[in-house]
Chains A and B, each alone.
Chain A
Amino acid sequence: MIWSVIPEEVVFKAGEKSSDLQLTEYLGRRVILRQGRVDSLLSTDPADFLDQRFMPGSLVNQGQ
């Protein structure tokens, strides 16, 4: 059940192509990748967000 200020027809608007986001583990942190680059970082440690390797747009070395 959705309780939101955004109308439900907007939330569940059809026609969007499936997302190209990919959740993965990188350097011990969970990151969401988009086409091999960091899209967002899932971490609670604020220090991780200062780490250049996790900056949005950073290229990810998949071997890690």
Chain B
Amino acid sequence: MSEYAHLCNEINPDLLPEENGDTCSAEQENENLTDFGQLSLPAQQSNIHVITIIGQVEGHLVMPSQNKATKYEHIIPQLVAVEQSKEIEGLLVILNTVGGDVEAGLAIAEIIASMSKPTVSLVLGGGHSIGVPIAVAADRSFIASTATMTIHPIRLTGMVVSVQQSFDYLERMQERVINFVAEHSQISAEKFKEMMMTIGELARDVGTVAVGKGAVECGLIDQVGGLRDAMDYLKQRIEENRSQQPPEKGGEQA
């Protein structure tokens, strides 16, 4: 560790107690500034945590390494940890995803929807396909004015046994997504299905591309906005939660 002792860091002083104290002198901070052109940032504890859903949502199948992927085995324990933590008071979910595994996406969406802490989603860039249920799962959803959401049918590709059961299974998978979206947003199941089947918007598929305001107008997303709007909503909900909490018992006993 001595090799790195001069890299004085004050962001998380409790992270490495042995590194603080005598190894972090003002002289070493100056050295750090001279050597790396960097100043240590002031310590800060965040009560709002953030989860980013980027690239493909990876589920039951490992995707080849050329894909940028968000793995559900990473995300789900993080969501559980956020729910359990006493210090964390709100969660911001940032989406820029091209879609991915239906069941992994639904699992993430269901956990977000069932959390007791205030949750906000913000779609930036794109929140396509399975990104849609994840976006609507939060208590309030925001979309950047330039962000897009593609709503298109679920497909079965590769070798498919062409029997009625295959079609029924596909239909049921699609129903699961449609019902989730309809339950967690202002859009009706009929309207969402209609958007899935629209022709003339996508080059090689049927479906709809909802851009910023369009996603709000159809009832899918609650509001056009950015980080400030998302944070304002979270802070407001956190304040409400604090005011509803009963006073500490310790104070009464004293």
Is the CB of B179 closer than 8 A to any CB of chain A? no
In the bound assembly, the distance between CA atoms of A47 and B48 in angstroms comes to: 10
Q: Closest approach, in angstroms, between the C-beta of A11 and any C-beta of chain B?
A: 6
> Are the C-beta atoms of B51 and A50 separated by less than 8 Å?
no
Interface flags, A15-31, vs B, CB<8A=1, else 0: 01111010000011010
* A35-B128 Cα distance, complex, nearest whole Å: 33
Contact across chains for A63 and B1 when beta carbons are under 8 A apart: yes
Task: Return B93 CB to nearest CB of chain A, in Å.
Answer: 10
Residues of B within 8 A of A19 (CB): 65
Residues of B close to A7: CB separation below 8 A: 204
Q: Are A46 and B16 in contact (CB under 8 A)?
A: no
Chain A facing B: main interface SS: loop
* With known contacts A13-B66, A16-B64, A44-B81, A1–B129 Cβ distance under 8 A: no
Complex contact A44–B65 (CB within 8 A): no
Q: Is B38 an interface residue (CB 8 A)?
A: yes
A14 and B64 form a contact (CB under 8 A): yes
Number of interface residues of B (CB under 8 A): 54
Contact assessment for B101 and A45 in the assembled complex, using a CB-CB cutoff below 8 Å: no
- For A, the interface residue count at a CB cutoff of 8 angstroms equals 33
Given contacts A27-B15, A51-B11, A52-B38, contact A5 B128 (CB under 8 A): yes
B49-A1 in contact (CB<8A)? no
What's the Cα separation between A15 and B191 when bound, in Å?
A: 41
List residues 152-206 of chain B with CB under 8 A from any CB of chain A: 152, 154-158, 173, 177, 204
Interface string of B62-83 (1 = CB under 8 A from A): 0111110000001000100110
- Would you call B45 and A47 a contact (CB within 8 A)? yes
Q: Which of B186-236 contact A (CB under 8 A)?
A: 204
Chain A neighbourhood of B112, CB < 8 A:
none
- Least Cβ–Cβ distance between A44 and chain B, in angstroms: 4
Chain B 93-107 interface mask (CB, 8 Å, partner A; 1/0): 000001111110100
B64, B102, B157 pick with most chain A CB within 10 angstroms: B64
CA distance A16 to B91 in the complex (A): 36
Asked if B102 and A3 make an inter-chain contact with CB atoms under 8 angstroms apart, the answer reads yes
Q: Which residues of chain A are near B41, meaning CB under 8 Å?
A: 50
Q: Which of A18, A42, A46 contacts B65 (CB 8 A)?
A: A18
Contact A47 B12 (CB under 8 A): yes
Q: Are A11 and B46 in contact (CB under 8 A)?
A: no
**Residues on the B chain within 8 Å of A17, using CB:** 65
Q: Which residues of A contact B (CB under 8 A)?
A: 1-8, 11-14, 16-19, 21, 27-28, 30, 42, 44-48, 50-53, 61, 63-64
Write 8 A-B pairs (CB below 8 A) sorted by A numbering.
A1-B101, A1-B103, A3-B99, A4-B100, A4-B129, A5-B152, A48-B12, A63-B1
